């Protein structure tokens, strides 16, 4: 489990995906029906995640994906994003998450810049990302849902069952092949994040949040960077918490998600914290911990506690 008590050196022999999968299996055994990730239209449980990721990874390898290949990932759903990123990683490839709202031209440029060889998309993003593949090196498209010309992700899972261990390759990889050490390849701005760096980010973020098993974390992807969004998903999977994804950037959507999912923790921007404190007379739940993405105004933090009984601290 990623509990913040161990540093990157202690887990240098594994990947984030292997650590998250191991933790998800433990949580699935104790809480088989409780969802881990929740979107407005999707729910993903620990057991489903732990079963689908290795099977999809095997399906990818059986369809020609090789270690070091780059996968463009263009998905708006937290549930689908978690499955795609970890299936790609488990297959030995490198996920390159693309901004959901990017234009066709920008998507094509990012796919070309990263050298992506295949794309994983969804029904709500395919209209742009599939067209963008015509301007890239992408030759295979996989999709959540029915997208013309794409191989459904569900078929990958079927093709990969039973899952098998990945091919270790020809041996130690030379330092000249940096893609083999990458956990994520970011596109906006361009940046490669290694497995050691991802573990360091997870421990830092995990220590700041202090998630416990059974917590529900409400957050909108509009309020955090892409690597932080993926890290929050991983922390919930690893710690037995649940992520309630807020599909819109406004405070009303956040409050609705907090009330609907009985959230105990929520991520907000400093501007959103101020709006919550002064624009809403009544909060849906008592005792919610707010994690602020920047330095909050101390007066706003104090007002948050005295007026609504919610605490606010910096996310880090």
pLDDT digit string, tens, across residues 137-156: 999 999 999 999 999 999 99
Quote the pLDDT of residue 156.
93
Cα(286)–Cα(283) distance, integer angstroms? 7
User: How far, rounded to the nearest angstrom, does the alpha carbon of residue 58 sit from its chain's CA centroid?
Assistant: 20
- Domains of the chain by range and CATH? 46-194 (3.40.50.980), 210-314 (3.40.50.980)
Quote the pLDDT of residue 279.
86
Quote the pLDDT of residue 12.
42
Mark 247-266 as b/e (b = at least 16 C-beta within 10 Å): eeeebebbbebbeebebbbb
Please give the model's pTM, rounded to 2 decimal places: 0.90
DSSP-based three-state secondary structure for 97 = strand
pLDDT tens, 185-195?
998 777 899 99
Quote the pLDDT of residue 161.
75
Beta bridge partners of 63: none
CA angle 15, 55, 9 (to 5 degrees): 5
pLDDT in single tens digits along all 316 residues of the chain: 554 334 433 334 689 999 999 999 999 998 877 899 999 889 999 999 999 999 999 999 999 999 999 999 999 999 999 999 999 999 999 999 999 999 999 999 999 999 999 999 999 999 999 999 998 999 999 999 999 999 999 999 998 777 666 654 444 333 434 455 789 999 877 789 999 999 999 999 999 999 999 999 999 999 999 999 999 999 999 999 999 999 999 999 999 999 999 999 999 999 999 999 998 877 888 889 999 999 999 999 999 999 988 999 999 7
**DSSP per-residue string spanning 190-216:** EEEEEHHHHHHHHHHHHHHH---TT-E
Cα(289)–Cα(274) distance, integer angstroms? 15
Cα(117)–Cα(137) distance, integer angstroms? 6
């Amino acid at each position: 489990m990623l509990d913040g008590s161990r540093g990157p050196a202690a887990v240098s022999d594994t990947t984030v995906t292997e650590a998250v999968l191991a933790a998800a299996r433990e949580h699935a055994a104790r809480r088989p029906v409780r969802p881990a990730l929740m979107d407005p239209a999707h729910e993903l449980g620990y057991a489903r995640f732990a079963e689908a990721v290795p099977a999809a990874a095997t399906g990818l390898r059986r369809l020609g994906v090789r270690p070091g290949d780059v996968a463009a990932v263009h998905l708006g759903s937290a549930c689908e994003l978690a499955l795609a990123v970890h299936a790609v990683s488990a297959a030995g490839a490198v996920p390159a998450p693309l901004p959901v709202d990017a234009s066709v031209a920008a998507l094509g440029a990012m796919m070309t810049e990263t050298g992506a060889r295949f794309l994983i998309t969804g029904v709500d993003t395919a209209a742009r990302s599939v067209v963008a593949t015509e301007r890239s090196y992408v030759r295979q498209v996989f999709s959540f849902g029915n997208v013309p010309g794409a191989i459904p992700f569900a078929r990958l899972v079927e093709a990969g069952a039973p899952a098998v261990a990945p091919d270790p390759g020809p041996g130690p990889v030379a330092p000249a092949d940096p893609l083999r050490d990458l956990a994520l390849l970011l596109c906006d701005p361009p940046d490669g994040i290694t497995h050691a760096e991802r573990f360091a980010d997870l421990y830092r973020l995990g220590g700041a949040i202090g998630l416990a098993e059974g917590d529900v974390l409400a957050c909108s992807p509009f309020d955090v960077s892409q690597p932080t969004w993926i890290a929050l998903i991983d922390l919930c999977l690893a710690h037995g918490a649940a992520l309630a994804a807020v599909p819109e950037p406004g405070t009303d959507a956040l409050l609705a998600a907090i009330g609907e999912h009985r959230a105990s923790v929520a991520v907000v921007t400093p501007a959103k914290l101020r709006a919550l404190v002064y624009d809403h007379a009544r909060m849906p739940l008592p005792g919610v911990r707010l994690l602020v993405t920047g330095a909050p105004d101390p007066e706003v933090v104090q007002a948050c506690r005295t007026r609504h009984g919610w605490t606010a601290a910096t996310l880090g």
